[in-house]
A and B are shown apart, each in its own frame.
Chain A
Amino acid sequence: MLNEHAAHGSAAAGQARGGGAITREDVAHLARLSRLALREDELDHLATQLDDIISAVARVQEVAAEDIPPTSHALPLTNVFRADEVRPCLTPDQALSGAPAADEQRFKVPRILDEEA
């Protein structure tokens, strides 16, 4: 499993710093990326906890040398495909049965701000 994620960002930004790895602003940014409307006190608390955890998990950087290929899947399976054959769909009632709101056989959602996120 070679050839992985050459295009991702540099490691430099994420060096283990043993505390102070993550700021409160970072946490607020992560909360926005994660779509979590966290309260101020939650942000404070999480900033401390995440800093502890990230400092601890940064230990992975001690052992993983450049020439070690990454593993994304537990087993080395490849080429699992299905035939292009129609299977029964849900009925619209089943599909919409859990919807918080529905109208005209569609899922009703609050107004969308932009064409694409």
Chain B
Amino acid sequence: MSMETLVPYDEALARYEPVLGIETHIELGTTTKMFCGCSTEFGAEPNTQVCPVCLGMPGSLPVTNRSAIEGIIKIGLALNCSIVEWCRFARKNYFYPDMPKNFQISQYDEPLCIDGYLDVEVDGETYRIEIERVHMEEDTGKSLHVGGATGRIHGADFSLVDYNRAGIPLVEIVTKPIVATGDKAPLVARAYATELRELVRAVGVSDVRMEQGSMRCDVNVSLMPKGASEWGTRTETKNVNSLRSVERAVRYEIERQAGVLDAGGRVIQETRHFQEAAGTTTSGRSKEEAQDYRYFPEPDLVPMAPPREWVEQLRAGLPELPAARRRRVQQEWGVADKELQDIVNAGALDLIEETVRQGAEPAAARKWWMNELSRRATEQSVELSDLPVTPADVVRVSALVAEGTINDKLARQVFDGVLAGEGTPDEVVEKRGLKVVSDEGQLGSVIDEVIAANPDVAEKIRGGKVAAAGALVGAVMKATRGQADAGRARELIIEKLTS
């Protein structure tokens, strides 16, 4: 690995203007693969979801999955693309062991969807990201590299290939060059990936899980000196597999390329790999020969000419898209732009909306999902939606707080119990005995003990310094391990000492 001289980000942006391009691959959530009837279910035993077609066995032939085509058309429509009248699949020819036919069925100069856009917002400003094309292709198998010190591809002794993923429908979304983003470039890139993920999720054609590889980004970056009209040489950083990494990869490439250019060097047009741990990009192995994919029309598949009625039917069936939904929700809940952005980024919009739909107050739903539960998701490194807690649970906890059965502090313990699999909120309250103590008798004896233990404070309150009651309430809470009704405790203390 060569040592790179980085230019600090702000300095780099003072002298150079970045141009970005983002290619995103999204695996569609169809029941079967793109060209055969094998299941696409994630996580199966190796080579159990394969057939002659997806193994590329001699004599086998592909047949296109209608649902996959509907899926890509829906994505295209959601991205404001035109759906072409006629197009073909093409073969992209190159040899690689995880690609069973040694060609990938893809689309070349006749993509199914063209000329769209996606608006994204960064710091209150809207950036329109133009979409060049959206096309259909198939995924490859997965290799396990065995031997060598690291288990990585370099230095491995051999590889073991599982073709369960081979032939999964893959949609590739390619932006036009993204210009004039200045120092916001990394944030715009991240916002685009985030918005695209939300959009595809809303359309309902993929689970778009970056950590499982069902969405992955390749990020192109080039720099040109400020004021120049000609773009610089770009690099393509492959397989950037989280939203945060999209931002970091762009940022790193800006700093790295600025370093190269400042030193009078030239940026090499190459494929680079993002190193998640270090937050850097490294050069792919240089090729002896330039790639020549020898694209030609796939003769085993007939052209597609999506009838206009079909396209319109699919358009009519699109759900409310994220941007429209955000506007609506913002109005309904009365939240600020920043807070809404946080909700979206946390992947909490669906959950909060469902919680509200099931009867919780918007403010309470937001509070629990965005504070308490988001923190736990982050701690456990899982998606918020993967926590074993449902909107119904949050509705119930909110209700318990509202009716005074528990307080916020106890509510956290209720969530502890729910997350630990102890049952519903009511069951946790019951099992853990988490009800607020507001009963005068029980509370009264605790208060008496506290007053006796803190004569100085008690004296101050008697002398009229009612504000000092807080210290005694704290002691009561401590003595009851948080279960006391703090408000009631305060009332009782003041009553006892001043009346």
Contact = CB atoms under 8 A, between A and B. Distances in A.
Direct contact of A and B (CB under 8 A): yes
A85 interface: yes
B159 A116 contact: no
A41 interface: no
A14 to B, nearest CB: 14
B31 A114 contact: no
Interface string A39-76: 00000000000000000000000000000000011000
A37 interface: no
Interface in B183-221: none
A79 B304 contact: yes
A96 interface: yes
Contacts of B296: 72
B498 to A, nearest CB: 74
Contacts of A4: 109-110, 297
Contact of B48 (A8, A89, A107, A115): A89
A112 B159 contact: yes
A1 interface: yes
Interface string B52-91: 1001000000011111110000000000000000101000
Most buried by A among B47, B160, B161, B303: B47
B32 A92 contact: no
B163 interface: yes
Contacts of B66: 81-84
Nearest to A105: B46
A11 interface: no
B55 A95 contact: yes
Nearest to B37: A87
Contact of B302 (A78, A89, A117): A78
Nearest to B52: A90
Interface string B335-377: 0000000000000000000000000000000000000000000
A115 B145 CA distance: 11
Contacts of A108: 158-161
Q: Describe A's contact surface by its main secondary structure.
A: loop
B86 A78 contact: yes
A82 B88 CA distance: 17
A87 B167 CA distance: 14
Given A89-B50, A109-B97, A114-B153, A72 B158 contact: no
B39 A86 contact: yes
B166 to A, nearest CB: 11
B45 interface: yes
B284 A106 contact: no
B299 A79 contact: no
A1 B87 CA distance: 9
Given A73-B299, A79-B305, A81-B69, A112 B86 contact: no
A98 to B, nearest CB: 8
B273 interface: yes
A5 B302 contact: no
A82 B37 contact: yes
Contacts of A116: 96, 238, 271
Interface in B291-312: 291-292, 294-297, 299, 301-307
B19 interface: no
B108 A109 contact: no
A55 B303 CA distance: 32
A112 to B, nearest CB: 5
Contacts of B303: 1, 73, 77-78
Contact of B31 (A81, A84, A90): A84
Given A32-B289, A82-B37, A115-B273, A92 B46 contact: yes
Nearest to A98: B57
Contacts of A96: 47
A109 B158 contact: yes
Contact of B67 (A33, A72, A84, A115): A84
Given A72-B299, A73-B299, A7 B153 contact: no
B390 to A, nearest CB: 29
A10 interface: no
A110 B108 CA distance: 31
Nearest to B161: A107
B117 interface: no
B144 A106 contact: yes
B38 A89 contact: yes
Contacts of B47: 92, 95-96, 105-107
B156 interface: yes
Nearest to B45: A105
Contacts of A81: 63-66, 69
A29 interface: yes
Nearest to B28: A84
B49 interface: yes
Given A112-B145, A114-B285, A82 B64 contact: yes
Nearest to A75: B302
Contacts of B110: 3-4
A115 B38 contact: no
B159 A87 contact: no
A21 to B, nearest CB: 18
Contact of B163 (A107, A114, A115): A107
Given A86-B39, A90-B50, A117-B96, A111 B32 contact: no
9 contacts: A29-B289, A79-B305, A80-B63, A105-B47, A106-B46, A106-B162, A109-B159, A111-B159, A116-B238
Interface of A: 1, 3-8, 29, 32-33, 35, 72-73, 77-92, 95-96, 103-117
Kindly list the 3 A-B residue pairs having the minimum CB-CB distance in the complex, ordered from nearest: A87-B37, A84-B67, A106-B160
